[in-house]
């Protein structure tokens, strides 16, 4: 740890242990927006393969192009011999084990089982000095990770611990190492650490690619109004300042989806990370402003369509009362619309999963219409419906309609996310690309400029993703000024 502390000191960072909070990362100098605070490769990582992301990916860089299967185990893929070589010391041991796994059991190789197999291998290679260790890349850091699940054992379902033990046994079955080389109890403990410390590795557009363990990044705590953001550049985790961070400030990122009321955010943190957030936003829980905001984001709108008031539950449970004009909206009317939404939602998702996109668009538009009657314009549910419509319309290449839905989501994004959140930048980027495609050049310049303003802070300027954004903006600007000149008859 001392060695790590020394290295972090060189980067103007310190780790402090605060009672009730545990380890925290603090700045030892000022950081400007967009500046890299910390960047690290994973101690171990694996690509994901699931319904949202069904394609195979390179074991090392997560690319899904030019893949070749490992000819020995037929389980892992690589996009190039360079990636295969980088992963070889780990995979050569893993490959021996995977080769022996029966076809039937291969199905049980979920990403978390595979990540744990890799963690065991990495630890062994470290002991054998086959893989080098550094101050920020060693098994001791994994040991130092805190498992909050174990701290709150009474609150956690016993079944979870039984499950971890079963998973540890499966890892043991896969590795088939002699008893002296494997500690099943430690593996079960590591599964509980993975549950609250593993990071989802995403591409530049925040689509999940894999899972990795970044022990130094894990020191950074959560806040619902974070001053920093974690993004990935291939396998590298990069933490950048989203705002001016003065010397002596705790560095914070967000662990969860920030679009939600305080109650919703706290529930997510409790369920996934086993702690109660006491950030600047959460300490307002139950105060007038917090109640208002949650009523706007997750509650109902006023019966009078011209009124912008927010509604609070009426004390004798008759319904909800507008805090601006005093109109009552009764419970029965609300639950009738809610049930209708629920019913159509089921149909919509069935037609979506069976590939009937046009049918599902009609259903989601009906839901949108009902939600406009039921919820406030900044409702998170309404935002989700519009996001779904946007996604389907993009797949159908209905650019014009997609653009209108993209534009509709932006005001809610700007309300629910910090002003420099990557999702805001990405939404402006999509809007800009659609406007450019539809010949709305001046609007495209405006949107792409906004996208660049946000994303240069969260994503830096050096990745191919950002280069593409900058060259699109240059092109759009050139075309806009050409159009302006020809309009002026020059
Ligand atoms: Zn690769
Ligand atoms: Zn192999
Ligand atoms: Zn919070
Ligand atoms: Zn009203």
pLDDT of residue 155: 57
pLDDT of residue 154: 58
For 214, residues 6+ apart whose C-beta sits below 8 A from its C-beta are 40, 41, 42, 43, 199, 237
Please give the distance, rounded to the nearest whole angstrom, from the Cα atom of residue 56 to the centre of ligand 2. 15
pLDDT of residue 152: 61
Nearest bound ligand to the CA of residue 263: 3
The β-bridge relationship of strands 236-241 and 228-233 is antiparallel
Please give the distance, rounded to the nearest whole angstrom, from the Cα atom of residue 226 to the centre of ligand 3. 9
DSSP state, residue 251: P
- Give me the residues near ligand 1 (ion), CB cutoff below 5 Å: 58, 60-61, 63, 79, 83
CA distance 381 to 297: 8
pLDDT digit string (tens) for 439-486?
A: 999 999 999 999 999 999 999 999 999 999 999 999 999 999 998 888
Q: DSSP 3-state assignment of 449? A: helix
Average pLDDT over residues 117-130: 94
Please give the distance, rounded to the nearest whole angstrom, from the Cα atom of residue 376 to the centre of ligand 4. 11
Please give the distance, rounded to the nearest whole angstrom, from the Cα atom of residue 295 to the centre of ligand 4. 13
490 pLDDT tier (thresholds 50, 70, 90): low
Q: What is the mean pLDDT of the chain?
A: 93
Please give the distance, rounded to the nearest whole angstrom, from the Cα atom of residue 46 to the centre of ligand 1. 12
pLDDT of residue 1: 61
Nearest bound ligand to the CA of residue 99: 2
Average pLDDT over residues 158-179: 90
Alpha carbon distances (Å) from 54 to 47, 204, 316, 389, 486: 11, 18, 50, 21, 48
Please give the distance, rounded to the nearest whole angstrom, from the Cα atom of residue 167 to the centre of ligand 1. 28
Please give the distance, rounded to the nearest whole angstrom, from the Cα atom of residue 117 to the centre of ligand 1. 20
Nearest bound ligand to the CA of residue 312: 4
Average pLDDT over residues 398-427: 97
Total Cβ atoms within 10 A of residue 120? 25
pLDDT digit string (tens) for 31-49?
A: 999 999 999 999 999 999 8
Nearest bound ligand to the CA of residue 96: 2
CA distance 424 to 454: 7
Please give the distance, rounded to the nearest whole angstrom, from the Cα atom of residue 230 to the centre of ligand 1. 22
CA distance 310 to 324: 7
CA 384-385-391 angle, to 5 degrees, is 90
pLDDT digit string (tens) for 251-274?
A: 999 999 999 999 999 999 988 888
């Amino acid at each position: 740890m001392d060695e790590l502390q020394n290295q972090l000191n060189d980067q103007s960072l310190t780790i402090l242990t605060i009672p009730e909070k545990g380890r925290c990362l603090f700045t030892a100098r000022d950081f400007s927006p967009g500046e890299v605070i910390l960047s690290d490769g994973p101690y171990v990582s694996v690509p994901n393969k699931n319904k949202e992301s069904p394609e195979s990916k390179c074991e090392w860089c997560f690319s899904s192009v030019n893949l070749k299967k490992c000819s020995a185990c037929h389980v892992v893929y690589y996009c190039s011999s360079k990636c295969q070589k980088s992963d070889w010391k780990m995979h050569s041991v893993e490959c021996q084990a995977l080769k022996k796994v029966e076809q039937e059991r291969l199905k049980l190789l979920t990403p978390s089982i595979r990540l744990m197999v890799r963690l065991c291998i990495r630890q062994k290679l470290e002991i054998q000095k086959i893989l080098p260790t550094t101050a920020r890349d060693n098994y001791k850091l994994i040991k130092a990770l805190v498992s909050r699940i174990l701290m709150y054992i009474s609150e956690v379902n016993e079944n979870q611990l039984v499950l971890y033990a079963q998973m540890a046994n499966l890892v043991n079955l896969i590795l088939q190492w002699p008893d002296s080389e494997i500690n099943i109890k430690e593996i079960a403990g590591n599964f509980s650490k993975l549950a609250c410390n593993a990071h989802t590795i995403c591409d530049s557009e925040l689509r999940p690619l894999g899972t990795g363990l970044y022990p130094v990044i894990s020191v950074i705590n959560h806040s619902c109004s974070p001053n920093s953001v974690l993004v990935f550049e291939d396998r590298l985790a990069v933490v950048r300042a989203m705002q001016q961070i003065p010397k002596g400030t705790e560095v914070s990122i967000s662990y969860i989806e920030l679009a939600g009321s305080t109650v919703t955010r706290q529930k997510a943190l409790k369920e996934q990370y086993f702690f109660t957030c006491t950030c600047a936003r959460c300490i307002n829980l139950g105060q007038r402003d917090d109640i208002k905001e949650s009523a706007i984001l997750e509650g109902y709108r006023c019966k009078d369509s011209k009124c912008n008031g927010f509604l609070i539950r009426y004390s004798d449970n008759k319904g909800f009362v507008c805090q601006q004009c005093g109109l009552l909206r009764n419970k029965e009317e609300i639950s009738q619309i809610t049930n209708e939404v629920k019913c159509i939602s089921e149909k919509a998702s069935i037609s979506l999963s069976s590939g009937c996109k046009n049918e599902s668009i009609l259903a989601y538009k009906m839901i949108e219409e009902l939600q406009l009657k039921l919820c406030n314009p900044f409702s998170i549910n309404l935002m989700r419906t519009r996001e779904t419509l946007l996604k389907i319309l993009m797949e159908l290449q209905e650019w014009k309609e997609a653009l209108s839905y993209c534009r509709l989501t932006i005001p809610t994004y700007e309300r629910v996310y910090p002003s420099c959140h990557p999702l805001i930048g990405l939404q402006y980027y999509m809007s800009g690309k659609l406007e450019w495609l539809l010949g709305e050049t001046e609007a495209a310049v405006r949107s792409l400029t906004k996208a660049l303003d946000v994303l240069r802070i969260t994503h830096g300027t050096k990745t191919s993703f950002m280069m593409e954004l900058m060259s699109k903006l240059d092109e759009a600007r050139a075309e806009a000024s050409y159009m302006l000149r020809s309009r002026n008859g020059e």
